[in-house]
């Protein structure tokens, strides 16, 4: 089986400028995704997809092959399927067909090569499925959430009223009694290449969970997230892939 790792690293990031190449522990975030992919030994090719030449130069310096991403796939609202399909099209053109691919996002810097190995092995065992996706238990349960809108009493139409999003009175129930709910995280995704071409999806219809650890589920999206990541490293609570 031939496998390819895809590292997405577009330049545009409004909340954390140049997030994907910002240094954490002495190296840019995308470096940890690249090196964990290479050190895992799971992939025939490790490719970084970016719309910025400087980003790609940095990616190459850490051992990745590169693909320049088209602008239409780099906009804030562009779905992942666009850049993934472009990357796979280019990889097939310049290398060969790959049976499966993984997406390893730079914003999860505490992911390790060993975790990638475990996830890929789980994907191989979990057939038939279209993909395996890293998930973690939610800390804020959706049944405890509220939205602006109508009251439960249909007679009241007032957008100053809030209504809860769960079942009847679920917001007053103990957390332990509520259904187990998981949220996807940026740690990793593994899928068949045919899922992209046959279903126009990077995950498909049959998705198996990969329960990642709390640290490896950590995702950097804001300045506060970055500061916490720096503190976690400094205190030795978390570790990045060794480079």
Burial of 236 (0-12, 13-18, 19+ CB in 10 A): exposed
**pTM of full prediction above 0.75:** yes
User: The domain 3-136+184-234: what is its CATH number?
Assistant: 3.90.550.10
DSSP character at residue 177: G
Distance CA 90, CA 95 (A): 8
User: Where are the domain boundaries for CATH 3.90.550.10 in the chain?
Assistant: 3-136+184-234
Could you read off the pLDDT of 135-192 as tens digits, one per residue? 999 988 988 888 776 555 555 566 666 777 777 788 888 888 888 999 999 999 999 9
Q: Assign 13 a pLDDT band (cuts: 50, 70, 90).
A: confident
Could you read off the pLDDT of 18-51 as tens digits, one per residue? 999 999 999 999 999 999 999 999 999 999 999 9
Whether the bond into 128 is cis, omega within 30 of 0: yes
**Residue 103's beta-bridge partner residues?**
6, 189
């Amino acid at each position: 089986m031939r496998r390819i790792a895809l590292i997405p690293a577009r330049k545009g990031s409004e909340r954390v400028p140049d997030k994907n190449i910002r240094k954490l522990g002495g190296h840019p975030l995308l470096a940890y995704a690249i090196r964990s992919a290479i050190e895992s030994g799971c992939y025939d090719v490790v490719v970084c997809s970016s719309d910025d030449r400087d980003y790609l130069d940095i990616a190459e310096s850490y051992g990745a092959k590169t693909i320049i991403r088209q602008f239409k796939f780099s906009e804030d609202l562009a779905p992942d399927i666009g850049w993934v399909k472009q990357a796979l099209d280019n990889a097939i053109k310049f290398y060969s067909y790959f049976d499966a691919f993984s997406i390893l996002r730079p914003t999860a810097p505490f992911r390790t090569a060993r975790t990638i190995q475990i996830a890929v092995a789980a994907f191989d065992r979990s057939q038939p499925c279209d993909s395996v996706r890293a998930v973690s238990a939610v800390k804020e349960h959706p049944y405890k959430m509220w939205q602006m809108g109508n009251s439960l009493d249909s007679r009241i139409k007032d957008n100053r009223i809030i209504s809860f999003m769960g079942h009847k009175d679920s917001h007053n129930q103990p957390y332990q009694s509520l259904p187990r709910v998981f949220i996807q995280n940026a740690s990793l995704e593994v899928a068949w290449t045919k899922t992209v071409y046959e279903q126009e999806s990077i995950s498909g219809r049959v998705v198996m969970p990969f329960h990642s650890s709390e640290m490896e589920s950590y995702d950097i999206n804001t300045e506060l997230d970055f500061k916490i990541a720096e503190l976690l490293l400094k205190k030795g609570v978390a570790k990045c892939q060794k480079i």
